[in-house]
Amino acid sequence: MLSKVLSYGLNGINGYPVLVETDVYNGLPSYEICGLPDASVKESKERVRSALKNSGYEYPAKKITINLAPADQRKEGPIYDLAIAIGLLTASEQINGELLKYMVLFGELSLNGDIRPVAGLLPMVIDAKKRGYNFMVVPHANLPEIKNIEGIKILPLWHLTELVAVLNKEQPPRLISPQPWEYEGIPNDVSIDFSDIRGQEKAKRAMEIAAAGGHNILLIGSPGSGKSMLAKALPGILPDFTFGEALDVTQIHSAAGETKQGRALISVRPFRSPHHTASSAAIIGGGQKCLPGEISLAHRGVLYFDELPEFERNVLEALRQPLEDGVVSVSRANNKVSYPADFMFVCSMNPCPCGNYGSDAECRCSPTQIGRYLSKISGPLLDRLDIHVEMGRIQYGELHGQGAQETSSTVRQRVNRARDVQRKRYGKLGKYCNAQLMSAQLKEYCPIHPAAEELLKNAYEKMKMSARSYTRVLLVARTIADLDGSAQVLAPHIAESIQYRTLDRKYWANRYD
């Protein structure tokens, strides 16, 4: 007898339906599975056999052929275990398969019939919903991941026998209704508040602007100036997460297998800080299964590189295209996957190997050493960093000053107001912050006062800006105007924005020859 059970596969973060066709017929006992299965899918034979026997069902002693359609798409992972087991029980006429035509089955089986969680459930469920499937049979441990998706019926299960009882109509399905999503607010692990940081007012102002507009930022200064501390305080001032952003981010983390252990929708912006020894595949994405890298896991959040020049040159150069396009394509011999990578890039570095160049302390580096160190950051990459901030030595009076410092909560309120203005402004474009604006859209969305335009023109000529630098200066000025509540970009906004583009002239001038 032939049975058909619907399950799902995953390519990157794109789900696709997989029809599990099971044929059980007379002949010498054998088991064949086709449809480009990987090793873990082939191993389902023994998992399913033990799960059926230990759950009180008979494993058919007949010729068994299982096809995973479409046959030209590679199938990976143990997600098809549950569908294969139910297909065998239906094809061997041990259960009634009438209700299966309404269901999509997800789940790995343990040897005793327990249904284990699977990776990538959220993007598969979202795709299934788009295709008109609305009855999802899922592992109970995966329930938090999809409980906020409206328009679907969810049947969470702990054991294979629960699904058999539902299919045989021995008990009604215990469906879970979708629950409203709740924003969690500031992450609990943010231990550094802006009020804890003494001095560095210019750097804190730059961080506020970067958070408000989603701009990339470079912090450069001697050791102990507070670069890392300021970067780690950044999550406390990031704008609120929306439900749409939470879905986008969780789909990526789900595909990477980071949501298997009962994790709900991610409701705080990611903050990823990889070590400088991380490989290109770890940062950009890839590996045997083309998994998302750090830049995709930081989507809609922050990617922080401490000690920027210590990263491998090929890693830094690979960032150029994602920083420009907000998406990364990962290609391997048998697959090509595109992942979102729209992140805020925050990086910090010393001005030289010893860290004292440009400060009051004596620099022990030769001009050649300084040039070699700075040349690790290429001109095209530097051009993509909207804001450059030099952080000097903190004075004793600043460390022991009694003046009140602004808290992260206060700064975050201003950031949220500015980001709300941007969402409304770019609503029809599908963008949410100034950093996403294209150069062709500047004229419409960045009205500039004549005096500000004249100032920008003079700076463009004297500083020999590139077209990209010009765009970045104007976008940062647009963010400063939003923080000030100004509909038009004024001369003071341009002047402040230009200040954040001068360090490449101080440190990198004539070092790319």
**pLDDT value of position 218:** 95
Classified as helix, coil or strand, 501 is coil
pLDDT greater than 80 at residue 394? no
Q: Do 313 and 380 form a contact (C-beta atoms < 8 A)?
A: no
Distance, CA of 38 to CA of 48 (rounded, Å): 16
Whether the CB-CB separation of 110 and 47 falls below 8 Å is answered with: yes
Write phi, then psi, for 108 (nearest 5 degrees).
Answer: -95, 145
**Which of 10-19, 254-263, 330-339 reaches the highest mean pLDDT?**
10-19
To 10 degrees, what angle do helices 467-484 and 491-499 make? 120
Q: Report the pLDDT value the prediction gives residue 158, as an integer from 0 to 100.
A: 96
E-assigned strand segments in 161-320: 217-221, 271-272, 285-286, 291-292, 302-305
- For range 460-485, the mean pLDDT: 92
Q: What is the mean pLDDT of residues 362-373?
A: 88
- Which domains can be identified in the chain, with CATH numbers? 2-168 (3.30.230.10), 194-415 (3.40.50.300)
Q: With bands split at pLDDT 50, 70 and 90, how would you rate the model's confidence at 512?
A: very low
| pLDDT reported for residue 508 | 61
**Length, in residues, of the chain:** 513
The rounded distance, in Å, linking the Cα atoms of 66 and 247 is 34
pLDDT reading at 307 higher than 80:
yes
What are 349's strand-pairing partners? 220
Mean pLDDT of the region 376-392: 90
In this predicted structure, the answer to whether residue 284 has a pLDDT above a threshold of 90 is: yes
Six-digit token string for 253: 């983390």
Query: What DSSP string describes 214-264?
Result: T--EEEEE-TTSSHHHHHHHGGGGSPPPPHHHHHHHHHHHHHTT-STTT--
* Mean pLDDT for the stretch of residues 247-272: 84
Is 270's pLDDT higher than 60?
A: yes
User: Residue 33's closest CA among 48, 12, 51, 11?
Assistant: 48
Share of the chain above pLDDT 90, in %: 64
Q: What are the start-end ranges of the E strands in 125-229?
A: 135-139, 153-157, 217-221
Instruction: State the alpha helices, DSSP H only, in 55-109.
Output: 81-91
* Helix, strand, coil percent content, the chain, rounded in steps of 5: 40, 20, 40
Q: What is the mean pLDDT of the chain?
A: 90
Q: Which residue has the higher pLDDT, 86 or 285?
A: 86
Residue 133 tokens, joined? 């499937």
- Report which residue type is found at 164: V
Q: Is 25 helix (H, G, I), strand (E, B) or coil?
A: strand
Q: Tell me the average pLDDT across 7-36.
A: 93
